[in-house]
Structure 1
Amino acid sequence: MVNRITANAPTGGRISFARLDGTETLELVELHRRAGRLAGALAELGIGPGDRIGILAANSPQWVLLDLAALWLGAETAGFEPGKFEPDQQLVSRYGLRLLFTDRPAEAAGVLPLAEVDRLVEKADSAPEPVVWEPDRVTTVKFTSGSTGEPKGLGATAASIDSSLRAVQDMFHHRPGDDLFVFLPLSLLQQRYWIYSALRHGHDVTVSTYEAAFATLRRARPTVVMGVPAFFETARRHIGARAARSGKPVGEQAVQLFGDRIRYLWTGSAPAAPATLRFFNEAGLPIFEGYGLNETCIVAKNHPGASREGSVGRVVPGKEVLLDADGVISVRSDHPVNDHYAYAAPGDSEKVFRPGGIVRTGDLGLIDQDGYLYILGRADDVIVLENGKKIVVRPIEERLASGPAITEAVLFCPRQTELVAVVRPAHYPPDEAVIADALADANAALGKDERIARAIVAREPFTVENGLLTSQFKPRRPQIRAAYAADLANPQEGIHAR
């Protein structure tokens, strides 16, 4: 896949960049031509195999061109998420960058404005011969969105990208006429997969940003939308509210938001609420949840003809899920992403990577008799009560957030004797009586040790900006615990269970 998308010009398909102020569209063959010319210009600047180019910028045509040009030259890319990194000399030095392109103000040596890409494309006379990638060579360094500390850097091999793209294509059969809508940062490698897929299979792809996604969806009229659960949960609330106000069917309101060509919706990266998945399926927009990590790429995925509610699908070819005695998942890959972190604290690689292409995920799971994988939560998030009872928190959190009153719940055990939830209400100011009812409903279905003693209502939503969500919209439990430490420690605080 990686070698073909540079060596062979595409025969069809388009790429569009949807912004609030309009949409720019290129034929994929023109994108390919510009990427080749940019590769020629970068080669004149001395960039070649093994060199590393950094990109710290919002999604844009220039981002895509730099990534493809690097593939052309056999150079690595390092995608840095805006807001997490600064375009300074320290970044250039730490990550061994020959050049860093950014749309942020910067004056450090080796840092170029993103607009320079357009000038380089125009000045180049021709494209060099594409470099042939060997399977185990690293194409890009990606960074984890972990809940604590500095992001870990992980080099992704060409073979791991190929195997993931093959698995996805075998399940979903993307083809001319499809248009895949991508809006998460291109610094996340998986978002670039869909551009590679378009170049290989001739379908369209639309690139937007998270901020512009809802405003541009209907205009783009995609057939597939790739999104994290938080995006679809926001869409669900928006559609439900519009349906309630207008009296029109939910399905009609879903089409109003997503456009009239949706073939399916894709979600992963974090657990999706069962109620959200059910909502879209019942609205006529099939949604398929999957499972994977930066360290493994895609592991399992529901897809048309093989989907089971509550699961993350069957394990894809080339991957094997191994469960230890406690139900902790490890994943063996025929083509591992890597066998170590490129940038991490001492000992971090040894905790995760094992011999034989095996990655210890830290997630709890089970596989049913038909081969469907279920994720039960994080092993580190298991709460051990004073009586020795082990509580897996994720099913309890999902139950508490399954109704209309609460959109997110994070469970803690401040004194080892009772469970306390920090909850994000559906509306501000919160209706404490409605939240108390939700707490009572959840407890009625839970065992004695699993019941929630009280709920602390979050003073503000959990967001990436306030540090309570990762960039993939997973709750940062240590930060949430720290933010509400006083409330958790005081047994009088919060809404108490009846």
Structure 2
Amino acid sequence: MHQSEVSPPATALMQGGLADSLFDTARRTPGLLQIARRADSASGAQWIPFTAAELRDEVVDLARGLVTSGIRPGDRVAIMARTRYEWTVLSFALWSVGAEIVPIYPTSSHEQVAWILKDAHCVAVVVEDEQGVMTVGSACASLPFLRHVWQLDTGALAQLAERGQAIPATTVDSLRRIVLPDSTAVIAYTSGTTGHAKGCALTHRSLASPCDTLLAGWGHTAAPPGEQPAILAFLPFSHVYGLMIQGLCLRGGIMMGHEPDLGEEALSAALLSFRPTYLYAVPFVFEKIFKNFLRTAQQAGRGALFERAVRTAQDFALAEERHRLGTGPGPGFDLRLQHSLYEKTVYRKMRAALGGRVCGAVSGGSPLNRELALFYAGIGIFVHDGYGLTETSGGITAQPVGREKFGTVGRPMPGVEVQVADDGEILVWGPSVFQGYINDPHTTQASFRNGWLATGDIGRIDAEGYLTITGRKKDVIITSGGKSVAPAALEERLRVHPLIHQAVVVGDNRPCVGALITLDPEFVAHWRGSRAGGEPSARDAREENELREEVRRAVAAANTTVSRSESIRVFRVLPEPFDLANGLLTPSMKLRRDAIVSRFAAEIDAMYQTSSRVPREYDSTEPSIWEDSDNVFR
């Protein structure tokens, strides 16, 4: 068993609840700009800042309305909404009166919503719109504890605040002061890739711990010296990662804006208008931004220039990484000169597309591809990859400042201990670990090994204490020949290719490893548009052949990172993506592997049947199967 080195806690002990941070900030620096709202939600072109005192007053008014409505300490209130300003006001108002928040993804199905509301014994639920009201209403018959359904888009929060005018503000202060650090703050439900989602009980202390540690050790990297950091929150607050971002902003005096729409156009516009100094995102977002850069360059006829600039950025970042880790001299004169040229002509424009002020970023949710991390570092945006899960209230590892090692998720944060068991499973101990799963003591007990949380993830710790995630324990594929294969690394490498949107590696009880692939429709459209004209029938056939070869090369490139027995020998391009609508993604955008394998069982069978006709001896880097009948343009 390999254990990381243990660092002492970096922050003072917490005395109260999460709401205290807002009230303390408003008392010390009432004029601090804490949050920004759009002047016109439709255009998103102008943001109006609000001070910490103004935000506190709005929280107090809403908290008084909650008291009038009968919300008491320990009551559980669900929030089923996208990432928007009201989420922040509502969460701090609920914490101010000692209530517990139950986040629900607004895209959740009727069955998922019914299960969570019933399992958590929620007394109220806040929804965005009429669709949310209908979803909750269809389950009300089985929810005897539910007393209120509040709809944001009909002004429910303003109505609550109006009703609470008769309650003195001192009542809210009295309720807030009895909230203890170890009181439950959030019941966060796991994604539920198999079976019912489980509710993780997270305390005020556990949610605050990673935020305070990051602010103490990494907070100075969130903005240039002398500037107030600004973060655009667009990841779901229904996920613990999103809640951690909110906590960082409110506990660290960081200006925060909200963007509920994760669509490419809306997010790009919000980044340009809000101009954040720091990004918190998941690998998919960083992959998408890179592909957009590439597509824009190709459309302008500068694809070759972009590719040279990318290689220079990666080479420059790699040389700097070796220098800071003590294994190299750093970038040479020629590389510095070339990098300086591209800084003036390419990299500056890339940063401008993100608002022009981004000086760093964090990636979480799953590991970030090493080559992609080198690219961003090379253009002036250091992406610190980290690791955490719902049961640990967010981050437990991070890249140490000045000792970043790309391709890893960093080292344990101060106060956290990490072990890798003999079977490769990552074990965690620390102040952010959850209380347990509500209503499920058996599963809670089974989740710990001698006091250490068994994460279900597999990985390794190197000699310097850096953790590398290699996949999920339950996702490991065992071929009919007995070879164990962790699919995450192959899938990550495939997704970096501009044409590939998603990839699922399969092969349990099969003779070799295979892959199901979906294509990025926007990039495919761009790719088709860049092809020369001709007769439609001849053009379609030519494009089909070229696309086959592009995908084959992408799979072959992914195979170079693994052994022959782990390489993808067969693959199939699917006509539909894995998404929430078809039930193949969880609300936190994770693959529902069992559902995918079940949905495409016939395609998988056909893929392997065809592969049986391929001779046994062939180059493992060259995947074999794309049937002639497959037409990804249909």
How does the TM-score come out when normalised to structure 2? 0.72
Q: Give the structure 2 partner of residue 465 of structure 1.
A: 581
| Distance in 1, Cα, partners of 2:420 & 2:499 | 36
| Distance in 1, Cα, partners of 2:252 & 2:509 | 55
Q: Give the structure 2 partner of residue 220 of structure 1.
A: 274
Gaps of 5+ in 2: 1-13, 141-146, 307-344, 526-543, 612-622, 627-634
**1:241-252 residue pairs with structure 2 within 5 A?**
241-246=295-300, 247=302, 249-252=345-348
**1:120-159 residue pairs with structure 2 within 5 A?**
120-125=160-165, 126-127=168-169, 128-129=172-173, 130-159=176-205
**Higher relative contact order (CA closer than 8 Å, sequence separation 6+):** 2
Distance 1:360 1:262, change over 3 A: same
Q: Give the structure 2 partner of residue 235 of structure 1.
A: 289
User: 1:380 is paired with a residue of what secondary structure?
Assistant: helix
Distance 1:355 1:89, change over 3 A: same
Tell me the CA shift for residue 169 of structure 1.
Answer: 0.7
Whether 1:324 aligns to 2:421 is yes
Q: Give the structure 1 partner of residue 43 of structure 2.
A: 21
Which of 129, 138, 149 matches 1:111? 149
Tell me the CA shift for residue 149 of structure 1.
Answer: 2.7
Tell me the CA shift for residue 7 of structure 1.
Answer: 4.0
Whether 1:170 aligns to 2:216 is yes
Tell me the CA shift for residue 406 of structure 1.
Answer: 3.2
Whether 1:277 aligns to 2:299 is no
| Distance in 1, Cα, partners of 2:624 & 2:105 | 40
User: 2:353 is paired with a residue of what secondary structure?
Assistant: helix
Which of 241, 259, 277 matches 2:355? 259
Q: Give the structure 2 partner of residue 308 of structure 1.
A: 405
Cα displacement string for residues 149-191 of structure 1 (whole angstroms, at most 9, x for unaligned residues): 3322111111111211121112321576100111122222332
Q: Is the 8 A contact 1:99 1:110 kept in 2?
A: yes
User: 1:258 is paired with a residue of what secondary structure?
Assistant: coil
Q: Give the structure 2 partner of residue 288 of structure 1.
A: 384
Distance 1:82 1:401, change over 3 A: closer
Tell me the CA shift for residue 343 of structure 1.
Answer: 5.2
Distance 1:199 1:377, change over 3 A: closer
Cα displacement string for residues 321-367 of structure 1 (whole angstroms, at most 9, x for unaligned residues): 121112111111234221x21156x85334323453x2111111111
What is the root-mean-square deviation of aligned Cα atoms in Å?
A: 2.7
| Distance in 2, Cα, partners of 1:324 & 1:88 | 36
Q: Is the 8 A contact 1:56 1:102 kept in 2?
A: yes
Distance 1:311 1:165, change over 3 A: same
Q: Give the structure 2 partner of residue 5 of structure 1.
A: 21
Which of 377, 387, 395 matches 1:298? 395
| Distance in 2, Cα, partners of 1:337 & 1:88 | 22
Distance 1:434 1:196, change over 3 A: closer
Q: Which residue identity lines up with residue 74 of structure 1 in the other structure?
A: G
Q: Give the structure 2 partner of residue 353 of structure 1.
A: 448
Percent identical residues: 28
Q: Which residue identity lines up with residue 191 of structure 2 in the other structure?
A: S
Tell me the CA shift for residue 489 of structure 1.
Answer: 1.2
Distance 1:85 1:409, change over 3 A: closer
Q: Give the structure 2 partner of residue 187 of structure 1.
A: 238
| Distance in 1, Cα, partners of 2:450 & 2:423 | 20
| Distance in 2, Cα, partners of 1:416 & 1:352 | 30
Tell me the CA shift for residue 80 of structure 1.
Answer: 1.3
| Distance in 2, Cα, partners of 1:262 & 1:194 | 16
Gaps of 5+ in 1: none
Q: Which has the larger radius of gyration?
A: 2
Cα displacement string for residues 390-433 of structure 1 (whole angstroms, at most 9, x for unaligned residues): 22322333344444443432211154311111122344477111
Q: Which has the higher helix share?
A: 2
User: 1:360 is paired with a residue of what secondary structure?
Assistant: strand
| Distance in 2, Cα, partners of 1:394 & 1:21 | 39
Q: Is the 8 A contact 2:83 2:233 kept in 1?
A: no
Whether 1:96 aligns to 2:121 is yes
Q: Which residue identity lines up with residue 284 of structure 1 in the other structure?
A: G
Q: Which has the higher strand share?
A: 1
| Distance in 1, Cα, partners of 2:286 & 2:504 | 19
Tell me the CA shift for residue 70 of structure 1.
Answer: 1.1
Q: Is the 8 A contact 1:414 1:488 kept in 2?
A: no
Q: Give the structure 2 partner of residue 41 of structure 1.
A: 65
